[in-house]
Amino acid sequence: ETGVTQSPTHLIKTRGQQVTLRCSSQSGHNTVSWYQQALGQGPQFIFQYYREEENGRGNFPPRFSGLQFPNYSSELNVNALELDDSALYLCASSAGTSGRNNEQFFGPGTRLTVL
């Protein structure tokens, strides 16, 4: 069984640029959630995708957008990068969208640095 994978591992961008981060979900999982973890803080929920549709969103501006593909992999896109976007971006997959037993499995993250 392959776990959650993310690419790239590290990325350096400058203010105003755009970035795309990628996530492959665990086998058998149809739901992907994205989280932003700033240095020294806990992860913050960005949004969730289920069957290629956005299923819920946290308190992030529209320049954070995403996609989910038919194979349930996902992309996170951030436009007009700001310095505060520097963070570890975590992807998590699960076998469903709701219910207390839908454990989320996390990938290793992508470290984004905005200069």
Contact footprint for another protein (CB under 8 A):
4, 31, 33, 35, 40-45, 48, 50, 55-56, 58, 90, 92, 94, 96-109
Dihedral sign, CA of 6, 8, 13, 18?
negative
Nearer to another protein, 46 or 81 (CB): 46
Give the residue with the Cβ less far from another protein, 66 or 107.
107
Choose between 20 and 97: whose C-beta lies nearer to another protein: 97
| Residues 40 and 57: beta-carbon distance below 8 Å | no
Dist CA 33 CA 50 (whole Å): 9
